Amino acid sequence: MDSPFGLLAELTYRCPLACPYCSNPLNLADYGDELTTGDWMRVLTEAGDLGVLQCHLSGGEPLLRRDLVEIVAHAHLLGLYTNLITSAVGFSRPRAELLRTAGLDHVQISIQADEPARSDRIAGVPSFRRKVEAMGLVKELGWPLTMNVVLHRYNIGHVAEVLALAEEVGADRVELANTQYYGWAWRNRAALLPSRAQLAAAEEVVRAAVERLRDRMDIVYVIPDYYSRYPKPCMGGWASRQLTVTPNGDVLPCPAAQSLPLPRASVREEPLERIWAEAPVMTAFRGTDWMPEPCRGCPRREVDFGGCRCQAFLLTGDPARTDPVCHLSPDHELVERAVTAANSERRPRGSALVPRPHQARRPVGPRQVR
């Protein structure tokens, strides 16, 4: 594609939760100088001119932006389809009604497990009941509701109960996304990576639910990279369909690309159209010309595009390497070693998790709001 159709607008990395699987960057302090309301309105206008049709408002927790309603209203005025990706902490009725009036099209609420104790323990704060209440409010106000659950060793055994909860709240769509190991999740990989037995049991439950609920609920199951024979294509191909704008204005081809040793590109310095077309961070791995072997000669090179560049960098130190998830990768042993450890009978029980720091109470400075 010549232009992107999706924009992930990461409005802030501040968040009231402390999830150990969070994919936000470890260096959260580097993103405290957030774009202003005017900055975001300009970014959305430039995104619309570039061809973007969908705007996903995320974070951190986007509800911590006092100007969220104004941002949604501007996106709606531009004709963008807007999706709020939220923990639902702070999703009060007055705020929800303002967002409805502003033109918000869809709400996606994350939940950590199927019941209060387990969900709150994973989230790091009491939040389960507020999330369920927010889902009821979403349905009452007439929005489509997606329920998102990141799966890992501590909740994957409760997929059936999670799906029962989704039915109970009337979710239109459920995303069961196995953890992607970036950011805080990368730091906690050894503790989070599930076993083969856990995955097999979960996949059996999901297959049955997809068949049973196909006329009532869309169930999306994101397979785990580390147990796959081939890697997933990175966002449908590096900088081909999607782009991400971070809280401080950096533009990336995917949410995890902050870690890569590539020159930064910022909406504070250049228009979005030029960044998309010319910035090295966008062009470095676009297409297939950059590929080494075995990707270059592989018939799947335009199916999975060599896999994930961020995963290749985290595992090998070189973002141009074939994704080690692929069984053809010369570095596949790195993934096999992690999988072997996750399935070892000698694996320590109750491995310590490093929670993502809380940032919800940091005062919002003058650059964050108009």
Average pLDDT for runs of 10 along the chain of length 370: 90 95 89 96 98 96 97 98 97 97 98 97 96 98 98 96 98 96 93 95 97 96 91 87 96 93 96 96 94 94 92 96 96 96 78 71 39
Model-level pTM?
0.93
Q: How confident is the model over 352-367, as pLDDT tens digits? A: 677 787 665 443 433 3
Q: How confident is the model over 307-336, as pLDDT tens digits? A: 999 999 999 999 999 999 999 999 999 999
Structure tokens at 291: 């590929």
Structure tokens at 60: 């951190």
Give every strand in the sheet of 106-110, ordered side by side.
218-222, 173-178, 145-151, 106-110, 81-86, 54-58, 6-10, 242-245, 251-252
Asked whether the beta carbons of 311 and 254 are under 8 A apart, the reply is: no
Q: How confident is the model over 191-201, as pLDDT tens digits? A: 999 999 999 99
Angstrom distance (rounded) from CA 149 to CA 174: 8
Amino acid at 362: R
Q: Characterize the bridge pairing of strands 81-86 and 54-58.
A: parallel
The DSSP 8-state label assigned to residue 234 in this structure reads G
Residue ranges of domains in the chain: 6-227
* CATH class of the structural domain 6-227: alpha beta
Residues sharing a CB contact under 8 Å with residue 180, sequence separation 6 or more, in sequence order: 23, 225, 256
From the annotation, which residues make up the binding site for [4Fe-4S] cluster? 15, 19, 22
From the annotation, which residues make up the binding site? 15, 19, 22
Q: Is 318 helix (H, G, I), strand (E, B) or coil?
A: coil
Structure tokens at 331: 């570095």
Asked whether the beta carbons of 320 and 334 are under 8 A apart, the reply is: no
Burial label, 117 (beta-carbon count in 10 A; 0-12, 13-18, 19+): exposed
